């Protein structure tokens, strides 16, 4: 079982983190942002290649990307307010690769 939504949320997060370097880009914060967003959206799991293709095509529209960008940016703010690590552990360099 796979979630094309998670891939897209991670891509959107990586893109926003590159443009907004004031947010932590560590793996813990990235995972927290993804979890917050995925808990606010309709589940989109698939078990077949065809299902993946259909969901991925729907998630790749400008409207869906814009909606996800808003949710991701809001989640980035929430995570930044209460990160689950010490301030000295903040990472503002390049985030991990999308889809990992």
The reply to whether 42 falls in a domain is yes
pLDDT in tens, the chain (100 residues): 889 999 999 999 999 999 999 999 899 999 999 999 999 999 999 999 999 999 999 999 999 999 999 999 999 999 999 999 887 777 765 544 555 4
The reply to whether 39 falls in a domain is yes
The reply to whether 10 falls in a domain is yes
Range of the domain at 76: 4-89
The reply to whether 78 falls in a domain is yes
Looking at the structure of the chain, the number of domains it has is 1
Q: Are 17 and 25 in contact (CB under 8 A)?
A: yes
**Quick one: pLDDT at residue 95?**
44
The reply to whether 94 falls in a domain is no
Six-digit token string for 98: 């999308």
Q: Identify the CA nearest to 5 among candidates 51, 38, 32.
A: 38
Q: Identify the CA nearest to 70 among candidates 33, 18, 28.
A: 33
């Amino acid at each position: 079982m796979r979630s094309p939504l998670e891939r897209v949320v991670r891509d959107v997060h990586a893109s926003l983190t590159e443009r907004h370097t004031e947010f932590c880009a560590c793996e813990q914060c990235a995972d927290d942002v993804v979890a917050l967003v995925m808990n606010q959206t309709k589940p989109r799991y698939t078990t077949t290649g065809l299902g993946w293709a259909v969901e991925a095509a729907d998630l790749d529209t400008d409207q869906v990307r814009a909606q996800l960008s808003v949710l991701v940016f809001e989640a980035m703010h929430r995570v930044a307010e209460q990160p689950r690590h010490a301030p000295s552990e903040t990472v503002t360099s390049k985030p991990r690769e999308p889809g990992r």
